[in-house]
Structure 1
Amino acid sequence: MAVLLLIVLILASCLVLRVAVETICVYWLTPRRIRQFMEKQGVRGPHPRFLVGNLFHMASLVQETTSSDMGSVHHDIVGRLLPHYVLWSKLY
Structure 2
Amino acid sequence: MVAIYRADNDEQIGTISDQDLDFLVEQLVEEDLEDTDYYVDRETIDFLKSRGASPTLLALLQRALGDREGVEVYYFSEDEAPSAPGVDEEG
TM-score by length of 2: 0.24
Structure 1 or 2: larger helix share?
1
- Structure of higher RCO (CA pairs closer than 8 Å, 6+ residues apart): 2
Structure 1 or 2: larger strand share?
2
TM-score by length of 1: 0.24
